[in-house]
Structure 1
């Protein structure tokens, strides 16, 4: 037994019941004057369509609805647009009951488009309900449930109780049939609370839906109990006989899936077969005949199965034969209406322009999405690169800070050692001079000896002792004198502070440090700038320009270039990293 096929057939019957729609026999179309219809005002054409519908001249009404739907254009009055949208809805419903689901869906969707473009919300609940019924007939229950939910939302916004009840009933049935428990329980509860008091059929659907839920969970005994409650309620409330037939058919399908309950399956299926024949419920009878044939075939009784199949085929043929004559007479008229509808669609330039605009918008949207994607990728790459660069700058900052701290410590240590060494040398020198004077010539004084040595030394040659003395004095001046941070500080002024001539000083700087005076002085200034940028307590309010001027640079740009060449990062970033380090330490 194919459970999904059985449930689909039952569900289609319930959709008909919930929408309170009945099948009408197709009646032959009147002899219609096509030219007269095409020239008829829209209001009169709609009234004519409704009159054909009320007379059960369904093919004639369908043709008029198709012609009316095709006469839509953007600049027509809003009242006529409403009639065109309603014609789309009626044509879609008519095609649905003719089992032409493709055209039904085309007209229903066109109706939704007209309503949404022209602010006609009152037709949308019915349109979405019928779209859901079409998808349900195609066994696509997920889309049908989505359509029903859209219609339910709009019907509640409009306080449209009639369509709200129909949509709630369809949602409760579909969610129960698909075993979507949370939604099924919600919609069944809302259906009972809002409409259970005014419509006796609601209680029947609630019991039936619960039976479906139990059936899907293989809780067969509880499912049977719920279905029997639905059957009892249908009898007591004297509901339409189709309700009782649906329960018989569902019980028969249920017992077919329960082991050792084949007799019960035959009982309910045969009961429904007799019941449907007595009340002329031909769709129910056809479904039941199919199940009986399947049941006998599963049990190996091929003769009985074949007899029910033949009965099913005969019934199907009789249903089809009753419509063939009317269908043949109305085909030409419907063809003319459809051709005219397609012609109007092709000639409607404004509609074509809108479609072109939609295509252009889609291309633009895709391009925008592509640009957004590229921008997102580039932004992500940029952020990653910035983070890497920030980490590299942070490493450079810490490395420079470490080097600066190490140099200061080495300088202090070296100064102490030099001082101690000079003191020792001075003591030894004095002792040596005194000793030599006593032994050699007591009349020679240390001052005379120094004078003699200076006289014998060439003015262009610096002795090692003089070099060391000048270098020591130079480093002392550079480390302890703020005058070097004056923007007008020069090598002449430095030679005066050191106590030597400019030539000696320049020679010592070039030979000892391997650089000229400007590079030598810049090194000290840049290191002092590093110290001040790291001293956030004292210099946190200083701008980079002020820091540059405080260490002797008139040109802001020159300071930035020299600082970046020396440290690898700009002064502003150096200051920022120093502030971050301070915040972390705090």
Structure 2
């Protein structure tokens, strides 16, 4: 089941044109739902936050417009998609208005997907309260609310994903893997290609968090193959999607009668970009003129004493040496500070003063060290692609991994692998 972006974009644009031409605004919610589906599918394949945000916006518009026109089925569909997206990105609190509005629509109770959506919002609210057992009970009710058969397999897939997320919150990765495997099986059985790709990526992450780097790499390699297959199959490239988004926005503006909207927005964007460029250039020149403050000068007013610094350094060292969470793509200074039970500004100060580097450089040092360990493992060498190794140690792209590896090791990953092979032969 491939998403044909070219046909989808063409038909959506035609539909919007008809809405504009015949003043049938009540059809807009359905178009927004389809717009969200197109963008969400592409965002999932590309793992691109920009398209995720566009999809979220489309679903939100669809929800409120559908509610306005009493299109309950469309409203519920938009709510389900928006709820699942916010759940997966840890932003349940951002849809409180939609949750309250949904609960207040008693007219929608006759729709077949109402109970599914009701148990979704119930589960989300329990998740926000960290009552994971009750949340999972709600998600199980979701599953049982669906009729038998594969007709609504995409909804069942969403319930499995919610179960996975609830276990991940508790760091119960073994249980999360059980449901993730069910997601993969369902997606494979129903030929849901996009779902297979997501499940494979997630399984790679689950196994990595569970300490099984070999299986993590296997699933990561499978995910990359599926991703490449999907992107080659789909006919619309990234530039095409951006043009499509712009056209949708232009049509939407005309649909509501704001014919000068794009001109004003374009002027505003040029102004903002112009100011941004000037600000950047001035800032760079100013920085070039002013000598950088040394760590000692920078932290002269700090209240940290030497004993506290040493204690915090030990905690930082413990995390970097023994906590595999540093190899997750979104590990950051705030998370390190939580693990060290300190504030980011203090952790940053200790890294700057006692390690004589910054957080990013220190993190990359340990990630490259782990990459070298994987490459030097004679039982595993040759099993991984460079992209798989990059993913295993926390880099989001092969290019960033390549650049960082060369900066740290003085040679490219490929050159390093060749040298290791030469030693082993």
- Shorter-normalised TM-score: what interval? 0.3 to 0.5
For normalisation by structure 1, the TM-score amounts to: 0.34
**Which structure's CA Rg is the greater one?**
1
**Under a length normalisation based on structure 2, what TM-score does the superposition of the two structures give?**
0.45
